[in-house]
Structure 1
Amino acid sequence: MTRSGYAVLTTSAILTALGLTLGYPELTLAGLAGAGTLATALIWMLARPGLSAERVLEPERVFEGETVVSRLTIRNQKPLRTPPLTGRQELVGQLVPITVPALPPYGSVVETRTLHPVRRGVYPIPPVRLGHSDPFRLIASTGLTGTPVTLRVYPVPYPVAPLPNPHLQDADGLTSDPVLGGVTFHSLRDYHEGDDWRLVHWASSARAGRLIVRHNVLADEVHHCIVLDTSSAAYPDPQAFDDAVRLAASWCLAGFEAGANVLVKTTAGDEATTVPHGRPPSRPTAVLDLLASVAPHHQSPGIESVNAILSAHRGRALGVITGHTAADKLAALASPARPVSVVQIGVTDGPGPVLPGMRLVRALDGERAVVRWNRLVPA
Structure 2
Amino acid sequence: MSLKSSAGKARAVLARPFHRNGAPTALHPTSLWAEAVKVVRLYLAPVWDKFASWSGRYVRPVVSSVSALGAVVIGAVVLLWILGASFGWQEAKVAALLGSLLVLIAIAFIVGSSMYAVTLDLARTRVAVGDNAVGSIAVTNTSPRPVLPAALELPVGRATALFHLPRMKPGAVHEDLFTIPTTRRAVITVGPVRSVRADPLYLLRRQVLWTEPTELFVHPRTTALDGPAAGFLKDLEGLPTKELSNADIAFHALRDYVPGDDRRHIHWKTTARTGKMMVRQFEETRRAHMAVALSVNTDEYERDEDFELAISAAASLGRQAIKEARELSVVTQSGPIRCETGKNMLDDMTRLAGSTRRGTALQLARSLADSVPNASVVFFVVGSKVTPSQLRSAAASVPPGVRSFAIRCYSGAQSARANIADLTVLTLGDLGDLAAVLRKAIA
TM-score range, shorter-chain basis?
0.5 to 0.7
Q: State the secondary structure of the residue aligned to 2:380.
A: strand
C-alpha contact (below 8 Å) 1:268/1:301 kept by paired residues: no
Tell me the distance in 2 between the aligned counterparts of 1:255 and 1:246.
14
Higher relative contact order (CA 8 A, sep 6+): 1
Structure 1 residue 114 displacement after superposition:
2.6
Judging changes above 3 Å, is the alpha-carbon distance between structure 1 residues 165 and 136 closer, same or farther for their aligned structure 2 residues? closer
Structure 1 residue 231 displacement after superposition:
0.8
Q: Is 1:361 the counterpart of 2:426 in the alignment? A: yes
Q: State the secondary structure of the residue aligned to 2:344.
A: helix
| Alignment gaps of 5+ in structure 2 | 1-65, 89-93, 248-284
C-alpha contact (below 8 Å) 2:426/2:437 kept by paired residues: yes
- Aligned residues: CA RMSD: 4.1
Letter in 1 for 2:317: W
Q: Aligned ranges for residues 148-227 of structure 1 at < 5 Å? A: 148-160=213-225, 161-162=229-230, 163=233, 164-165=235-236, 167-168=238-239, 222-227=288-293
Q: Deviations over 1:77-98 (max 9, x none)?
A: 4444322102332335543221
Structure 1 residue 61 displacement after superposition:
0.6
The percentage of aligned residue pairs carrying the same residue is: 16
**2:118 aligns to what?**
53
**2:257 aligns to what?**
none
C-alpha contact (below 8 Å) 1:75/1:108 kept by paired residues: yes
Structure 1 residue 297 displacement after superposition:
1.1
Tell me the distance in 1 between the aligned counterparts of 2:376 and 2:123.
36
Structure 1 residue 320 displacement after superposition:
1.8
What TM-score does the superposition give when structure 2 sets the normalisation length?
A: 0.59
Of the three residues 112, 131, 143, the one matched with 1:66 is 131
Q: Aligned ranges for residues 138-153 of structure 1 at < 5 Å? A: 140-153=205-218
Letter in 1 for 2:367: A
What TM-score does the superposition give when structure 1 sets the normalisation length?
A: 0.68
**1:266 aligns to what?**
332
Q: Is 1:376 the counterpart of 2:441 in the alignment? A: yes
Aligned length: 314
Letter in 2 for 1:321: V
**2:149 aligns to what?**
84
Q: Is 1:231 the counterpart of 2:297 in the alignment? A: yes
Structure 1 residue 270 displacement after superposition:
3.8
Structure 1 residue 315 displacement after superposition:
3.5
Q: State the secondary structure of the residue aligned to 2:118.
A: strand
Judging changes above 3 Å, is the alpha-carbon distance between structure 1 residues 77 and 376 closer, same or farther for their aligned structure 2 residues? same
Structure 1 residue 241 displacement after superposition:
0.8
**1:124 aligns to what?**
189
**2:387 aligns to what?**
326
Structure 1 residue 309 displacement after superposition:
1.2
Structure 1 residue 341 displacement after superposition:
2.1
* Bigger CA radius of gyration: 2
Letter in 2 for 1:341: F
| Alignment gaps of 5+ in structure 1 | 22-27, 176-218, 276-283
